[in-house]
Amino acid sequence: MLDTQAIRKEFPILSRHVHGKPLVYLDNGATSQKPLAVMQAMDDFLRSHNANVHRGIYTLSEEATALYEGAREKVQKFINATSVEEIIFTRNATEAINLVALGWARQNLKAGDEVLTTEMEHHSNIVPWQMLVKERGIVLKFLPAKAAEGVLDVAQLDAFLTPKTKLVCVGHMSNLLGTVNPVTTFVEKAHAVGAKVLVDGCQAVPHLPVDMQKLGADFYAFSGHKMLGPTGIGVLWARKKILETTEPVLGGGDMIKEVTKAGASWNNLPWKFEAGTPNIVGAIGLGAAVNYLTKVGMENVWQHEQEITRYVMPKLLAIPRLKVFGIPKASPERGAIFSFWIEGMHPHDIASIFDEQGIAIRAGHMCSQPMLEVLGQPAAARVSFYLYNTQAEADVFLNAIEDAKKVFGI
Ligand SMILES: Cc1ncc(COP(=O)(O)O)c(C=O)c1O
C-alpha cells in the first residue's frame, strides 16, 4: 500500500488551487507532476556543479560527467538493461523511436520489407514508419485491434508475420485504453520469423515494473517527463549488438573518437548516438525520478493503480450514456487510464467544465487517431491516474461527470 498522503506532500503543485478548487490532476498520461527530489537534483546541479560533460579536465566538469553518467546507470538498473552502453539519452520517446527509424531501419530495410505496427499505437509509433514507406518503399502493416474487448487481435499475429517482416512495433501500454499488450508473445513470434521488435514503453515504464531481460525485445523507448522526470529527456534502450553495427544518425561533437579532414571514427557506445552537448540537467532530473520511483517501488505503484481501477471502473460502467473504452473491468492487463465518451457531450466541453472544478483531464484524439477510428469515435475524454492520485480524487471526478450531465440536461 502506498502512503499517498505522504507522497502528495512531496509534489508541490498538488497543493495548488485552480479556479478556487483544489487541483485534481488526472492527465498523467500526457505528463506527470514532479517531486521535490527531482527539482532539487536539477537545482543542485545548476547551482553547484554546472559544466559541460566529457570534456574538461577540471573538477566541475568531472562532477558534471559523473552526475550525467550516474543518471544513465540509474536508468540502466531501473529497467534491468545489461549495460549502460545500451542506454541512449534522447529528447523523448518520439525521438527514440525516430532514432531507430532513421538509423537501424534506414540502414537495414529495403523496398518491399515489412514493418508491422498496430492499430493501437500512439502516432509516434506510426508516423516514423509511414515516413519510411515514402522514403524507402517499405510496406507498413497494422495488426488489428478489437474495439469491444479493447485488446489487440493477437490471434492474427501469425498471419501478419511473414519472412519479409523485419520489424514489429508495439506499445507496451496503450495511452488511449490503458491496455497492457502481451509484449513477450510479440517478441517470441517476431523473432521466429527473424524480425526485430521495438516496444513503445512510454506508458509502461512510469507505471509498472519493466525488465529488459524478461521482455526480450530489441528496442525499447520511453520519456522522462511521464515518470516524474523533466521534459526534454527520453531513453532509447537497444541491444548492444545492434547498436554496435548501426551507424550514427547525427554527427558532431562527442559522438566521435577522432576527426581528420579525410573523415571521422565513432565514439564508443552509447555516446556514438549522442551528438553534441546533451541535456545534462534533464538526465540528472530523470536519475532523481528513477531514484524516487525505486524508493516507492514499481510494484507498489502498479498495485495502487490497480486498486484505483477496481474502484473507478465499475462506477464508470454504471453511468448511463457513458461509454468507457478498453478492457471493461479491472485486470492485470489494464492500467489506470480511462478514455470515455458521453452521449450528447463533446469531450472538449467535458474538459472545460471539469477545469472549472479544478480537474485536469485530456480531451481530443490523444495522438491515437487510428485506434479512435477502430472505436468509431471522433474523439474521447481521458483521465489517467498516477501514484499520487487518491480515491477521493476519483470521487471528485465521478461526481463531476454527474454535474456535467446535469448542465447538459442528460
Ligand atoms: C504510448 C506513447 N508513445 C509515445 C508517446 C510520445 O511521447 P513524447 O511526446 O514524450 O515523445 C506518448 C505520449 O503521449 C505515448 O503515450
Residue 406 in grid coordinates: 446535469
Ligand 1 within 6 A of 223 CB? yes
Q: Out of 173, 200, 202, 286, give the residue to mutate to test ligand 1, the one with the largest number of ligand atoms within 8 Å of its CB.
A: 202
Burial of 292 (0-12, 13-18, 19+ CB in 10 A): buried
Ligand 1 within 6 A of 28 CB? no
State which fold the 4-26+298-407 domain adopts: Aspartate Aminotransferase, domain 1 (3.90.1150)
Burial of 320 (0-12, 13-18, 19+ CB in 10 A): exposed
Per-residue DSSP letter, 280: H
Q: Are 101 and 131 in contact (CB under 8 A)?
A: yes
Q: Looking at residue 56, what is its pLDDT? A: 79
What are the tens digits of pLDDT across the range 316-369? 999 999 999 999 999 999 999 999 999 999 999 999 999 999 999 999 999 999
Q: Are 17 and 319 in contact (CB under 8 A)?
A: no
Distance 230 CA to ligand 1 centre (A): 14
Distance 51 CA to ligand 1 centre (A): 30
Residue 399 in grid coordinates: 461526481
Q: Looking at residue 226, what is its pLDDT? A: 98
Q: Looking at residue 408, what is its pLDDT? A: 86
Ligand 1 within 6 A of 384 CB? no
Nearest protein Cα to ligand 1, atom 14:
30
Q: Looking at residue 180, what is its pLDDT? A: 98
Segment holding 115, helix H or strand E: strand 114-118
Q: Looking at residue 381, what is its pLDDT? A: 98
Q: Looking at residue 293, what is its pLDDT? A: 98
In this prediction, the residues of the chain whose per-residue pLDDT falls under 70 are: none
Residue type, 177: L
**Closest atom, ligand 1, to C-alpha of 175:** 16
**Closest atom, ligand 1, to C-alpha of 225:** 10
Q: Looking at residue 292, what is its pLDDT? A: 98
Cα separations in angstroms, 403 against 15, 43, 68, 220, 234: 24, 42, 48, 42, 39
Residue type, 142: F
Could you give the CA distance from residue 321 to residue 208 in angstroms, rounded to a whole number?
32
Active-site annotation holder among 173, 205, 367, 387? 367
Give backbone dihedrals phi and psi of 47, rounded to 5 degrees, phi first. Answer: -75, -40
Residue type, 24: V
Could you give the CA distance from residue 178 to residue 175 in angstroms, rounded to a whole number?
6
Ligand 1 within 6 A of 31 CB? no
Q: Looking at residue 139, what is its pLDDT? A: 98
Ligand 1 within 6 A of 200 CB? yes
Ligand 1 within 6 A of 93 CB? yes
Q: Looking at residue 230, what is its pLDDT? A: 98
Q: Looking at residue 55, what is its pLDDT? A: 81
Q: Is residue 202 flagged as an active site residue?
A: no
- Per domain, the residue ranges of the chain are 4-26+298-407, 39-294
Query: Does the structural domain 39-294 have CATH classification 3.40.640.10?
Result: yes
